[in-house]
């Protein structure tokens, strides 16, 4: 059995939060034999992938015990459950993508917003093909990655469809100025990439800000991070951070809240969207 996905862990964490101070024995007892203690525990700990009917029934039990289960939350959790077993386009790249990368793409597909702070590179959702190729090649730390660069570029470009779908993802990207001044092997690659930033930043669902290199010390100096938001249900929000050899998902509500505060600070510290576009244009014209 594969390791629990982020989606399943989010579901389990929400069910655990709804249970609150009630014991597993209390919930199992209130279910009239439908659920055992071990079965509820496996759902909460993402050991088992529940069916939608099981989640619906468990929500009824929790509601009968006083948990606040709104119609909107029930709908969101049932959607989360059903889509957990659906095959996404990215699964045709099995063998190319790591399970963690598949999790990220799956979460992007479900999310309504994506807020990202990037310290050293432009975010993948805004890449051109050639810039993506250079970044992937530059950060490849194994021959295996080198061998699948073309496929990884395809995936990166395919991910961008969420920005132009019928109900597009809202993207808020804050970039360190240094990321815009990267010297690619061919200056035309960076010229095209900065043009892509400007054109995408003109879309109503995309905002791009630049944090100048001479800005005072700030909360983003330690690392890049992204927050995947799920609309009216902030308890389902997830933070994604990435290092050279691993990626980390932060799901605990208090920790996610800290990242939201950090994003707000970065938003305030960065140039406005309008001034950022002017700065990007200035850098682009200097190439």
Q: Does the pLDDT value for residue 265 go beyond 80?
A: yes
Secondary structure letter of residue 134 according to DSSP: H
> Residue 247 has what pLDDT?
86
Confidence band, pLDDT 50/70/90 cuts, at residue 31: very high
Comparing 90 with 122, the larger pLDDT belongs to 122
> Residue 144 has what pLDDT?
75
Comparing 127 with 103, the larger pLDDT belongs to 127
251 contacts: CB under 8 Å, gap ≥ 6: 6, 9, 10, 13, 238, 239
Which domains, ranges and CATH numbers included, belong to the chain?
Answer: 6-84 (1.10.260), 91-285 (3.30.870)
Confidence band, pLDDT 50/70/90 cuts, at residue 234: confident
| Candidate from 68-72, 162-166, 208-212 with smallest mean pLDDT | 68-72
Q: Does the pLDDT value for residue 153 go beyond 70?
A: yes
Residue 203 Ramachandran class (φ > 0 left, ψ -120 to 50 alpha, else beta): beta
Give the CA dihedral 102, 108, 111, 115, nearest 10 degrees: 130
Most confident of 55-69, 82-96, 99-113, 221-235: 55-69
Q: Does the pLDDT value for residue 220 go beyond 60?
A: yes
> Residue 3 has what pLDDT?
46
Query: Two tokens at 151?
Result: 């496929």
Comparing 251 with 124, the larger pLDDT belongs to 124
> Residue 2 has what pLDDT?
44
- For 117, counting Cβ atoms within 10 Å of its Cβ (0-12 exposed, 13-18 middle, 19+ buried), the class is buried
Q: Does the pLDDT value for residue 198 go beyond 90?
A: yes
For residues 235-243, average pLDDT: 87
Average of per-residue pLDDT values in the chain:
91
| Measured distance CA(180)–CA(69) in Å, rounded | 45
229's enclosing H/E stretch is strand 225-229
Q: Does the pLDDT value for residue 227 go beyond 50?
A: yes
> Residue 110 has what pLDDT?
83
Q: Does the pLDDT value for residue 43 go beyond 70?
A: yes
Q: Does the pLDDT value for residue 279 go beyond 80?
A: yes
> Residue 1 has what pLDDT?
31
For residues 138-152, average pLDDT: 87
> Residue 204 has what pLDDT?
98
């Amino acid at each position: 059995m594969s390791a629990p996905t982020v989606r399943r862990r989010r579901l389990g964490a929400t069910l655990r939060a709804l249970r609150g101070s009630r014991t597993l024995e209390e919930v199992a007892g209130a279910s009239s034999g439908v659920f055992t203690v071990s079965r509820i525990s496996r759902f909460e700990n993402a050991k088992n992938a529940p069916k939608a009917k099981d989640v619906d029934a468990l929500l009824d039990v929790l509601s009968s015990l006083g948990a606040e289960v709104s119609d909107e939350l029930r709908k969101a959790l049932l959607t989360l459950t059903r889509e957990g077993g659906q095959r996404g386009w990215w699964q045709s790249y099995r063998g190319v993508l790591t399970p963690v990368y598949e999790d990220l793409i799956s979460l992007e597909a479900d999310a309504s917003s994506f807020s990202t702070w990037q310290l050293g590179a432009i975010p993948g959702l805004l890449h051109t093909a050639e810039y993506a190729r250079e970044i992937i090649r530059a950060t490849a730390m194994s021959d295996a990655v080198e061998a699948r660069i073309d496929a990884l570029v395809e995936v990166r470009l395919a991910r961008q469809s969420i920005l132009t779908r019928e109900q597009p993802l809202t993207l808020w990207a804050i970039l360190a100025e240094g990321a815009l001044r990267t010297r690619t092997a061919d200056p035309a690659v960076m010229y095209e990439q900065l043009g892509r930033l400007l054109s995408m930043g003109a879309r109503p669902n995309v905002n791009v800000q630049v944090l100048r290199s001479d800005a005072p010390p700030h909360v983003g100096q330690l690392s890049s991070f992204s927050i995947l938001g799920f609309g009216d249900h902030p308890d389902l929000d997830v933070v994604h951070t990435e290092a050279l050899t691993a990626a980390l998902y932060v799901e605990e509500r208090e920790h996610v809240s800290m990242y939201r505060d950090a994003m707000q600070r970065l938003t305030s510290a960065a140039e406005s969207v309008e001034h950022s576009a002017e700065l990007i244009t200035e850098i682009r014209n200097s190439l």
